[in-house]
Structure 1
Amino acid sequence: YADFIDTHLDSCTELLFDILTNPSFLTEHIKTEKKVIIEEIKMVEDNPSDNIMNYFYEAVLDGHPLSLPILGTNNSLKNIKKSAILDYFKEKFGIGGIVISAAGNIKHKDLIDKIKKNISGMKNRKFINDFTGQEPPENGRVKKIHDSKTSSVHMCFGGLGCRRDSEDKYPISLFTNLFGGSMSSRLVQKIIFNIFNSFICNFGYVKKSIYSGN
């Protein structure tokens, strides 16, 4: 991804395709990035309002990939090898498996010309979409309690939502806003944080949840 002045289209296109065709993936850079992610994991663990959602997904979607934290864990990071990153890159990033989009003061023909000029270095491999999806589990009633050294209390309760292609997603989205979710006005923020401490409602495709903390 690049955000640039329109006069730099040529150089930025060349740079992006150089990254796609000649990535370095230096071992020391991978080690550094792992340390950064570990610090991000610690930040989430130190923030109950963030960490509670990890516990929620783990309880409601246990056995499903979505139950896993998006940042991973210390163990999962340690097990990621440079060879695995390279294999994934070679498998997924080919001419048949990428989408190029642009917005702003740009002419379509100019973009096509720049792409044709730089895309020759990419492998022309066929993209295979092997993602089949996985139905969320029916885990029934689940209760998960985590004790931590803090004076605050954070609660979250909810369950499975609807499928992304379900017609129910429209009334669910409307209900979320009516119930107080996705609201960021000063008035609502004052009511939420000054009066009720914290109250967040979220009804999505995979899950529906209501969160409260103080």
Structure 2
Amino acid sequence: MNGAVDFPLERAELSFRAAGDSLVRRSVLPSGVRILSEQVPGARSATIGFWVAVGSRDEQPADARHPSTFGSTHFLEHLLFKGTQKRTALDIAVSFDAVGGEHNAMTAKEYTCYYAKVQDRDLPMAVEVLADMFTSSLLDRDEFENERDVILEEIAMAGDDPADAANERFFEAVLGGHPLGRPIGGSPETIRAVTRDAVWDHYGENYRPNDLVVTVAGAVDHDALVAAVTTHLEGAGWDLGIAASPVPRRNNQPADIVRGSAISITQKPIEQVNLYLGTTGLVATDERRVTMSVLNAIFGAGMSSRLFQEIRERRGLAYSVYSFAPAYSDAGLFGLYAGCAPAKAGQVAELMLDELRTLARDGVTPLEIERAAGQLGGASALALEDSDTRMSRLGRAEITLGEFADLDEGLRRIARVTPDDVRALAQSIVDRPFSLAAVGATSADVFANVVDVATPTDDAA
């Protein structure tokens, strides 16, 4: 393949060869169900995912006609494992355990995925069980109340992890009232408040044929996959003969973000301060996303990065320090993280910001670009040895990006990034309003100068 391949929603069939001679096929059924596969030569296992483009950002507050659905996406992810008309929760677990398979689910801000990894001979079983879970969950009321307690324990566990807690506060601080700023799992308050009927309505409104995307990577025959998915969806009562277009992809125009706060401090009597500092980034479809990957690799991803070398190696101020750049349909973040002693937190925050400003002012060298290209290309190649990664790549290509780029195309895009591209993007980042979130034995006063210098006004571009 030469260049990325577009995934038009209205195109019924698509087939092409990708890097490594894998065969990618895509079928859009008349009902709007989308089925994608990547057949990998020599593979003996396969990973399958059932996706919906519904995540925590899509939950709604209560209004005059409907109760709040906050927390329902994560709640529903748990409940789909709790039994159907044909299978108990134990039956579902045994189906995969008996063949040495793996099964799980993930709720994200913009999608939910139920997935399994099995040997090639067990793929038909995985299709059958996941289709049953997806279409026919009972959402039993007793199980609902039991799982409410389980989710509250999960949230409590995450809250006890200072890095997780700081990360949640960071998203809230940067993204403010935007739905992406809310925690994926909900809060104790929303989980206690959400009703079984609200989750049931959420299930019925979003788990429909034209919402469903099925992706499989590894040892898979596409025609057999389409036949199996069709058989089990129709067997569950779905009428796939009714014509419907796939749900449209999200708007990819950058949202107007008003940051939530400049500084967010959560006091905890622990040994380290877990510190996040950053601002808005790029949307997932921005043409500069590859430049962002190169910038991130040079600045804070890896042991040779500027951030790691300055904060840890030269100064010994932190054990863990890095940068990251998540991207969503209409917003993104660029963040810096460090865990350090409370007495050093202010200094570390200043140094992290200084390093970013230096990069924006002075740019990067061709050697750094070359190293970043090698790092990104090698990491991508290694990741694609796993069918999980390939399955997820298909899902993101279909749901978010609307195009498929294989390893060769990714390398070509990286090779086109120049030092000027990186410096210009870094400059646009440092010109934006920054936020800081920290959990530990610290206070806002420690960081006041850092945020004031970085954000003289919230009207920065």
User: Does structure 1 residue 5 correspond to structure 2 residue 130?
Assistant: no
| CA deviation after TM superposition for structure 1 residue 200, in Å | 1.7
Residue 169 (structure 1) aligned with residue 289 (structure 2): yes
TM-score w.r.t. the length of structure 2 is 0.41
CA deviation string 1:9-41 (max 9, x = no partner) = 443333222223321111222222222221222
Q: Is the 8 A contact 1:155 1:213 kept in 2?
A: yes
String of CA shifts for 1:47-70, please: whole Å, max 9, x gaps.
Answer: 212211111111111111111111
**Selected match of 1:157 from 253, 277, 295:** 277
Code of the residue aligned with 1:53 in structure 2: it is N
- Structure 1 vs Structure 2: percent identity of aligned residues? 26
Alignment of 1:55-204 (within 5 A): 55-120=169-234, 121-124=237-240, 126=244, 128-129=247-248, 132=251, 135-139=255-259, 142-181=262-301, 183=302, 192=312, 195=316, 196-204=318-326
- Distance (Å, rounded) in 1 between the aligned partners of 2:287 and 2:124: 44
Residue 215 of structure 2: SS of its match in structure 1?
coil
Distance 1:12-1:152 versus aligned 2 partners, 3 A rule? closer
Structure 2 segments unaligned to the other structure (5+ residues): 1-114, 341-461
Out of 120, 129, 137, the residue aligned to residue 23 of structure 1 is 137
Residue-by-residue CA offset, 1:66-104 (whole Å, 9 max, x unaligned): 111112111111122111222122222222221222222
C-alpha distance in 1 between matches for 2:249 and 2:215:
23
Q: Kindly indicate whether the alpha-carbon contact (under 8 Å) linking 1:61 and 1:136 is maintained by their aligned counterparts in 2.
A: no
- CA shift at 1:136, angstroms? 4.4
Q: Is the 8 A contact 1:27 1:82 kept in 2?
A: yes
Contact 1:41/1:73 (8 A) holds in 2: yes
* Cα deviation, residue 163, structure 1: 2.4
TM-score, normalised to structure 1, is 0.83
| CA-CA distance at 1:159 after TM superposition | 1.0
Q: Do the aligned partners of 2:177 and 2:260 also contact (CA within 8 Å) in 1?
A: no
Deviation at 1:131, TM superposition (A): 5.2
Q: Partners in 2 of 1:43 and 1:83 — Cα distance? A: 27
Deviation (angstroms), 1:145: 2.0
Asked if structure 2 preserves the Cα contact closer than 8 Å seen for 1:201 and 1:210, the reply is yes
C-alpha distance in 2, partners of 1:105/1:179?
38
Q: In the aligned structure 2, how far is the partner of 1:98 from the partner of 1:89?
A: 12
Of 21, 33, 37, the residue aligned with 2:147 is 33
Task: Indicate how the Cα distance of structure 1 residues 55 and 6 shifts in structure 2: closer, same or farther if over 3 A, else same.
Answer: same
Q: 1:129, CA displacement in angstroms? A: 4.3
1:155 partner SS: strand
User: What value does the CA root-mean-square deviation take over the aligned residues?
Assistant: 2.9
Q: Which amino acid aligns with 1:161?
A: G
Cα distance in structure 2, aligned partners of 1:25 and 1:140: 35
Distance in 1 of aligned mates of 2:260 and 2:137: 46
Tell me the amino acid that sits aligned with residue 255 of structure 2: E
Distance 1:168 1:21, change over 3 A: closer
Q: Deviations over 1:165-197 (max 9, x none)?
A: 22222222111111122x379xx79x9599432
